[in-house]
């Protein structure tokens, strides 16, 4: 790892100051342009490196990989090449993009596309999506609102990473507008439910990791091996209709209050790129059962923020949080998920749960920021919010910073449209 | 519809008496043999009609469909041809297999494979799997055990078809052995959980329908149009580890207690084949909200049974039930699922929930049959069961009968192996 006093490696591709996408990042995505159908790209500065063109020019020939994976409309085939090849391709790209290497540079008009000219698509085909509930601050906040401070956490919460299955079909990429969902809700003091647009539309700031290696049914992944099964991460907005959720969720969990849409950032930042930002996780007390124990630093210092931009108005940041607050690590989540033999597949997505911190300005949903609608959240245009209004754009972003080194995720930006 | 006094149409393929697969059924599946890779087949008697061979011989030429769908390893491409083409292919097969038509019969060695020589595979690629909870008897039984008779049904239960998302990756076809899962459980009166193999292994007798038509995100399917989106049905064993489920499921629902495996019957019986067996559903009181109301008969009279065969011992039927007891219809389930704009995709699977009837011999899980372990369920070999033992094979079967007309699903048969 480079120390902060060393000069960082530069690329011949221009990377603006504070860009999320320096040569140290190299996240993968699927893009298309007017001229090119869906294809694999790597973000660098404000450009996209077109991997099928890099392959066509022969720059991957010595890697002995099937380069047709780069002409695919999802990353699943590339991811399926396995961790050894992810690292080999990353190493090759790091060489090719180095400011002192002009081999690829002479073909730059062939291999680079302006981000401004490209549309980003969903980066993976998602077989299954699981949502965890792994922030102790979020679980405590929500539990306090619903059951009082003394019973905030359920008895199981500190013994296992609580999670549930979500809907894969409705995961969409940043930029996709979301319609306010309709559904059944029970008004306060009503006996019978009513039907109509949700009145308590909310976001949840989460991150998700993408599975990089299949397991067989019956197989278990240990905490020690879990990271071999994780390809990378994205920012995840788990849209929530609180009033629908509240009425429907007993006894089998959230369903229509969640499955109308979840939005993700388009670039998958690899675990290799996140390596410099490893940190300790919160101490776990009580100590979990042996199968959930692990050694080493298995969390990451990732700064997170949420902003709301009302229609025709500027953004207001309403939450600043960090991924490192999460109580259960990704390795523990994955081990728990497979301890019963449940099989996982390349492209599966596993979200963290709402990543609230301990201070009110780090609460990561409107439910918590407005304390179930009891407080107004001020915006810079003079308006306030308890929940989201039609026309609001929600912007979530994430980046790691260590000295001069910044590795970012870009953003997931989605507008809430009126109910159809 | 034929009346029971008319002679039923026969096929030139021999169909044994009481076969689930007469010419009136023609369910679709994916099979493979020693000589042929995964391919689309139709069950008739004890034979499989090989559709890619029927196509190769030109018998589908006048239908103007892309017959490459029959050479696929899943039914998704065929299903995506749409309802009009499902009916056209069914009609063509009904003609070709008729006892008085010898056009295809002269090629019978080319187009038929003995079921005994074939292995059945998972018939569809399942994007998302949803499990409903739509039997009032099951929900009341479980609610009574957990919360007492006065609070058995949650307040929402009669207002909406409660459902939750399950795991698609671990849905397997009949014949796949299942290992007893390990997991966390909380022993009675214990303060902290323990880890080990489940001690309360159970089945749940369900049926599932397969989505036949995509929707876009934001689109809603009405109860009137719902049946256009349903291709067919299978028998579904929703394996459950009750002790794991009990400890983990608050507040977000079942997870590892379910997702280690679900087993389905291999032949998808089409809605066209089930048409003669339409019946009324139970009266709904209170009347549901307008979006959930519907006209006509939207349930089906399908006889269901579960048998347990201990290792090296004969089967004992432990449950006889019927699909028609289900309180919420498939049309209502699908309408509710999409009322918030959640998109559905061809191949998605939606299970009914445990299909218990009102009498104790129709209870459709060991949890209910043994009343949470308070009663012994006798087997014909002299043994008894409260929950399943290692080595037990669970056999679920389903068929419709109206006079001489029998349309069946075959069975889903799976053996419980010891924990790994």
Residue A169, chain B, CB below 8 Å: the answer is yes
> B129-417 in CATH: which number?
3.90.850.10
* Chain-chain contact of B340 with A163 (C-beta, under 8 angstroms): no
pLDDT at A6: 72
Q: How far apart are CA A304 and CA A207, in angstroms?
A: 9
- Other C-beta atoms closer than 10 Å to the C-beta of B36 total 15
A250 touching B (Cβ < 8 Å):
yes
Average pLDDT over residues A344-363: 98
Residue B3 scores a pLDDT above 60: no
Q: What percent of chain A has pLDDT over 70?
A: 99
Which residues lie below 8 Å from residue B332, measured CB to CB, with a gap of 6+?
B161, B223, B226, B288, B292, B294, B298
Given a cut of 60, whether residue A1 has pLDDT beyond it is: no
Q: How do residues B293-341 score in pLDDT, each as one tens digit?
A: 999 999 999 999 999 999 999 999 999 999 999 999 999 999 999 999 9
First CA to last CA across chain A, in angstroms?
A: 51
Token pair listed for A330: 């990704």
Percent of chain B past pLDDT 90, that is, above it, reads: 97
Find chain A residues with C-beta within 8 A of B155's C-beta.
186
Distance from CA of A258 to the nearest CA of B (A): 9
Q: If you average pLDDT over every residue of chain B, what do you get?
A: 97
Interatomic CA distance for residues B237 and B352, integer angstroms: 11
Give the pLDDT score at A93.
Answer: 98
Burial letters A184-223, b for 16+ CB under 10 A, else e: bbbeeeeeebebebbebbbbbbbbbbbbbbbbebbebbeb
Predicted pLDDT at A147: 86
Query: Is this complex's ipTM strictly greater than 0.90?
Result: yes
The pLDDT-based confidence of A5 (bands split at 50, 70, 90) is: low
CB contact under 8 A, A341 and B260: yes
CB-based contact B250 A154, cutoff 8 Å: yes
The answer to whether A99 and A93 have CB atoms below 8 angstroms apart is no
3-class SS of residue A40: strand
Res. B287: pLDDT tops 80: yes
How far off is chain A from B290, nearest CA to CA, in Å?
9
Answer for the pair A407, A22: CB distance below 8 angstroms, yes or no.
yes
Is the CB of residue B340 less than 8 Å away from at least one CB of chain A?
Answer: yes
- A277 CA: distance to closest CA in chain B (Å): 31
- Distance from the Cα of A197 to chain B's closest Cα (Å) equals 9
What's the pLDDT tens digit per position in A45-69?
A: 999 999 999 999 999 999 999 999 9
Known binding-site residue numbers of B for substrate: 133, 147, 245, 249, 354
**Ramachandran assignment for A312, one of left (phi > 0), alpha (psi -120 to 50 degrees), beta (any other):** left
Residues B217, A172: C-beta atoms closer than 8 Å: yes
Q: Which of A179, A253, A336 sits opposite B164 (nearest CB)?
A: A253
Q: Does A253 touch chain B (CB under 8 A)?
A: yes
**B58 interfaces chain A, CB cutoff of 8 Å:** no
Q: Which residues of chain A lie closer than 8 angstroms to B172, CB-CB? A: 217
Whether A206 contacts chain B with CB within 8 A: no
pLDDT at A7: 87
Among all residues of chain A, which has the CA nearest to that of B342?
A260
The binding site of A for Mg(2+) consists of: 238, 258, 262
Strand partners, A40: A30
Q: What is the pLDDT of residues B384-418, one digit of tens each?
A: 999 999 999 999 999 999 999 999 999 999 999 99
d(CA A401, CA B310): 60
User: Which of A134, A165, A155 lies closest to A329, judged by CA?
Assistant: A134
Q: How far is A104 from chain B (nearest CA, A)?
A: 40
Residue of A170, A217, A339 lying closest to B170 (CB–CB): A217
pLDDT of res. A2: 47
Write the CA distances from A385 to A80, A197, B284, B293, integer angstroms. 44, 17, 40, 36
**Interface membership of A289 toward B (CB under 8 Å):** yes
Q: What is the C-alpha separation between B120 and A338, in angstroms, rounded?
A: 26
Q: Measure in Å the smallest separation between the Cα of B352 and chain A Cα atoms.
A: 14
Kindly tell me if the per-residue pLDDT of B194 is higher than 60.
Answer: yes
Q: What's the distance, Cα to Cα, between the start and end of chain B in Å?
A: 51
Name the closest residue on chain A to residue B290, using Cα atoms.
A195
> Residue B377 and residue B371: Cα distance in Å, rounded?
10
* CB contact at 8 A, B294 and B374: no
pLDDT surpasses 60 at B1: no
How many Cβ pairs within 8 Å bridge chains A and B?
A: 180
CATH topology of domain B28-121: SH3 type barrels. (2.30.30)
A148: left (phi over 0), alpha (psi -120 to 50) or beta: left
CA neighbor of A336 nearest in space, from A300, A301, A284: A284
A238 touches chain B (CB under 8 A): no
**pLDDT reported for residue B5:** 59
Listed in sequence order, the residues at least 6 apart from B89 whose beta carbon sits closer than 8 Å to its beta carbon are: B60, B63, B65, B78
Dist CA A134 CA A299 (whole Å)? 12
Chain A closest-CA separation from residue B300 CA (Å):
26
The answer to whether the Cβ–Cβ distance between B170 and A255 falls below 8 Å is: no
Residues of B in contact with A156 (CB under 8 A): 184, 186, 193, 247-248, 250
Say whether residue B190 is in contact with chain A using an 8 A CB cutoff.
no
The answer to whether the Cβ–Cβ distance between B186 and A155 falls below 8 Å is yes
DSSP state of B172: E
Question: By CA distance, what is B193's nearest residue in A?
Answer: A159
Residue numbering of the annotated binding site of B: 131, 133, 147, 204, 206, 238, 245, 249, 258, 262, 354
Chain B partners within 8 Å of A179 (Cβ): 218, 341
pLDDT value of residue B2: 46
In contact, A269 and A234? CB cutoff 8 Å: yes
Interface test mutation site (partner B, options A251, A343, A345, A419, max chain B beta carbons within 10 A): A251
Decide if B159 and A244 are in contact by the 8 Å CB cutoff. no
Asked if B54 reaches chain A (Cβ–Cβ under 8 Å), the answer is: no
Place of tokens 């776990």: A284
Residue A99 predicted with pLDDT over 90: yes
Say if strands A178-179 and A119-121 run parallel, antiparallel, or are unpaired.
unpaired
Answer whether A168 touches B (CB < 8 Å).
Answer: yes
With CB atoms and an 8 Å threshold, state whether A340 touches B420: no
Cβ distance A52 to A89 under 8 Å?
no
3-state secondary structure B20-42: CCCCCCCCEEEEECCCCCCEEEE
Where do the domains of chain A lie?
28-121, 129-417
Task: List Cβ neighbours of B419 (8 Å cut-off, separation of 6 or more).
Answer: B179, B180, B181, B182, B196, B197, B198, B390
Residue A14 falls in the annotated catalytic set: no
Mean pLDDT for A283-292 is 98
Mean pLDDT for B20-34 is 98
How does residue A146 score in pLDDT terms, banded at 50, 70 and 90? Answer: confident
Q: Count of CB atoms within 10 A of residue B332's CB? A: 25
DSSP one-letter string for A8-34: PP-BSS---TT-S--TTT--EEEEE-S
Are the beta carbons of A168 and B252 separated by less than 8 Å?
Answer: no
Residue in B170, B194, B250 nearest the CB of A342: B170
- Span A407-417, mean pLDDT? 98
Report whether A223 contacts A332 (CB < 8 A): yes
CB A181 within 8 A of CB A244: yes
Contact state of B259 with A163 under an 8 Å Cβ cutoff:
no
Please, which residues bridge with residue B178 across strands? B416
């Amino acid at each position: 790892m480079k120390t902060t006093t060393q000069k960082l490696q530069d690329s011949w591709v221009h990377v603006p100051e504070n860009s999320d996408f320096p040569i140290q990042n190299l996240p993968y995505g699927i893009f298309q342009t007017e001229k090119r159908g869906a294809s694999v790209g790597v973000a660098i500065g404000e450009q996209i490196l077109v991997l099928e063109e890099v392959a066509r020019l022969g720059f991957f020939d010595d890697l002995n990989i099937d380069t047709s994976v780069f002409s695919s409309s999802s990353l699943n085939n590339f991811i399926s090449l396995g961790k050894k090849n992810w690292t080999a391709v990353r190493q090759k790209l790091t060489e090719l993009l180095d400011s002192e290497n002009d081999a690829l540079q002479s073909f730059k008009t062939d291999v680079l596309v302006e981000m401004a000219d490209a549309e980003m698509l969903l980066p993976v085909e998602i077989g299954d999506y699981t949502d965890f509930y792994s922030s102790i601050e979020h679980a405590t906040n929500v539990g306090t609102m619903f059951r009082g401070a003394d019973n905030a956490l359920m008895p199981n919460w500190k013994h296992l990473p609580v999670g549930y299955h979500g809907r894969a079909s409705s995961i969409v990429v940043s930029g996709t507008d979301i319609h306010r969902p309709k559904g059944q809700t029970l008004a306060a003091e009503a006996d019978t439910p009513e039907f109509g647009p949700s009145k308590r539309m909310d976001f949840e700031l989460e991150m998700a990791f993408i599975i990089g290696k299949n397991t067989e049914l019956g197989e278990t992944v240990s905490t020690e091996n879990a990271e071999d099964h994780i390809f990378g991460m994205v920012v995840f907005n788990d849209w929530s209709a609180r009033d629908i959720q509240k009425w429907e969720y007993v006894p089998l969990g959230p369903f229509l209050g969640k499955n109308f849409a979840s939005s993700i950032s388009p670039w998958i930042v690899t675990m290799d790129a996140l390596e410099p930002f490893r940190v300790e996780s919160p101490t776990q007390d009580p100590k979990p059962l042996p199968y959930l124990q692990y050694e080493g630093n298995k969390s990451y210092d990732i700064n997170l923020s949420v902003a709301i931009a009302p229609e025709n108005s500027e953004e207001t940041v309403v939450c600043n949080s960090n991924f490192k607050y999460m109580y259960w690590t990704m390795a523990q989540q994955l081990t728990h998920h497979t301890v019963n033999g449940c099989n996982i597949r390349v492209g599966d997505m596993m979200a963290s749960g709402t990543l609230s911190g301990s201070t009110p300005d780090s609460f990561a949903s409107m439910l918590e920021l407005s304390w179930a609608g009891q407080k107004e959240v001020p915006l810079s245009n003079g308006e306030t919010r308890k929940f989201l209004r039609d026309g609001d754009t929600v912007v979530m972003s994430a980046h790691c910073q260590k000295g001069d080194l910044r590795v970012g995720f870009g953003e997931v930006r989605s507008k809430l449209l009126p109910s159809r």
